[in-house]
Structure 1
Amino acid sequence: MKIVIAPDSFKDSLTAKQAAEIIFNAFAKVAKNNNYLIIPISDGGEGLVSSLTNQLEKFRVIGPLGEAVTGEVGFKNNKKTAIIEMASASGIEKVPHAKRDPHLTTTYGVGQLILKALDANSKKIIIGMGGSATNDLGLGALTALGVKFFNQAGKAVGVFGKDLLEVRHLDISSLDKRLAQREIIIACDVKNSLLGKAGATFVYGPQKGLKTIAELNRFEDAFSRVSNLLENVFSKEATKVAGTGAAGGLAYALFLASKGIIKQGFDVVDEELKLKEKLINTDILITGEGRIDKQTFEGKAPFSIGKAVLDVSPNVLIYSFAGSVEKDLTQTVFKEIIPLQNKNESLESSLRNAQQRLYEKALQLALKLFNRQ
């Protein structure tokens, strides 16, 4: 029997690789003689690099709050391909809850990591957009890459979200020319365009720390104004392109500044790993992520790999673990969704015990599947 174990990360508790190993250990204890294939996956957020390569290089870069942090670039094919997670430099997990505020965060470190990939002479650069702490329209990243932004008085502005509100002019003459000479793939885990009620600011700003309608409107106005400036100098319209709202508009900025292509993150993983070839003749697929909700079925990794395996193994049984599950979901992909969070248990408690809980739930599933209860 062929069993594929392919979870995404469980936010705030387990990486995709850790989750895959836990599930495998539970299943192997019950039925070790199956053909197991372990594939940690990602939809463009946390785990993108580790799902595609184990060759990592670490660099000191500017973090989301302007502090020094250690960011990573993954390489494969003798450095011909570089993989970057924006969250490695500018992720929300690097910002304490009390300090989460898009006025005070920057994508500057992401630009620094892109420069490291350019310096390595990588021909293809994949940049995952998930997990951002930022809503700066890529101001920080573009500044690191050579773009200059100015206020009404012609003075250079800073690199944080609050500085975007002051931008009235810009100059792209010093933008690193190598950016346009590389294949840039912007891997998004959302499909939101840049502006409007379904755009970057209004949908994700509150999750990142914007607290009032006035704050949301100020950022939306800045996005509208600065996107006009960017589109004038790059001679390209992009505010309505799906995915440009990812990472607080970073996807939009990189799409304009390079000859980049925006793709759904899982599709990038699928192409790089040739997943569908590996999924042929699968009997059971085990996947999972931190939360299964309506967004899961808009292209998140568990749903996407479920659809992919059904294309090549139509009789497969698909099970998904989840830290928590939205009530009253209607779906046809998973035979069963198994929450780690017990009834009446706090999310904090289930996260604290995620490793043990996932092992126990996976063991229960294996015993049920192989009639060894």
Structure 2
Amino acid sequence: MAGAVVVLGSATPRVTTYHAATTGALRLLHLPERVSELTMPPTTIVDLRLELKAGNRGTLSRALRLALERTVAKGEQAILYLNRRGFATVVLCRDCGYVVNCPACDIPFAYHVDGTLVCHRCGRRGTPPERCQKCGSLRIRHLGVGTQRVEEEVRAVVPAAALLRLDRDAVRAKGSHAALFERMRSRRAQVIVGTQMVAKGFDLPGVSLVGVVNADTVLSLPDFSSAERTFQLLTQVLGRSGRGPAGGRGIVQTYLPDHYAVRAAAAHDYATFAVAELDGRRRFGYPPFAKLVLLQTQAKRADTVERRADAYARALRADAAGDAEVLGPAPAFAAKRAGSFRMQLVLRGARPQALLDRVPPSAEWTVDVDPVTLLG
């Protein structure tokens, strides 16, 4: 109405926005140089499969361990990124394979160093069992890697370094986020271990090393946007390195060293990533080449939510008329949350909203048009 101009700025825009810009719907402006003419940090990709073959079963590769020791010795700062909280991601019986799950969400509890089990979906807490609840075995083990386990290993590698952990568990208290940032900014913390909280928004000239402990945590999720989200997170966290006169470097640990998202992020090459990602979305019919609608419903009883989802899926398919493909019903990615069972349908096609207008959902459904992710 007032003729204003909207400027969208990002180092890692969604590929749907990039496609709109490259096809003329938006005007594309490139900013090819870093602020203050700083160079992007050269980044090494470490194949974790080779580390295992070499007998290294720790969370830090030999390259990252050496780089961390050298960074600390020079008095510079390092960031280690892992998008998982806790000490271990699974508590498991080594004899029968039983996994200790949250009873309300039916996903594994995470083990924390304070000796508690925590559900990272609903927040429920529990006590680690001394014996297996299924077979009675005493061989209970804590498997997987979280930020607390990385913190423990870093303390063993550089015991003299001041260490700080930045994740949701560490910033629960009021004012703790600002206090932790001040420790980073003032260099009273030399090594920062964190989740995606460390990936963007921090300008720390003392950071000369960024290590990604495992680049695959998001990449392996069953979602059309998992590669895009991985590229964004890796690019953002690697960009924390080399913002000062000392320069910087990055190290990315992964079991998928040839994946286009990992390679493009290590090369700081958005255009190459976008071309590969858009090619895949074109072949499989995902945005921007089709529209999506995510429909979800929940109930306290599994049979109730299944009947409701089946009935609505049949109604949608009967009236689809080529407007959209009806995918599902299927359990939601969070198939159980806080005691409720959850199901979902996905509409994919040229006109899914037209189908919804003809066959509207009942009040028991939530509707997400153009969802960023299908992992609700």
TM range (shorter): under 0.3
Please identify the structure whose Cα radius of gyration is greater. Answer: 2
TM-score of the aligned structures, taking structure 1 as reference length: 0.27
Greater helix fraction, Structure 1 or Structure 2: 1
TM-score of the aligned structures, taking structure 2 as reference length: 0.27
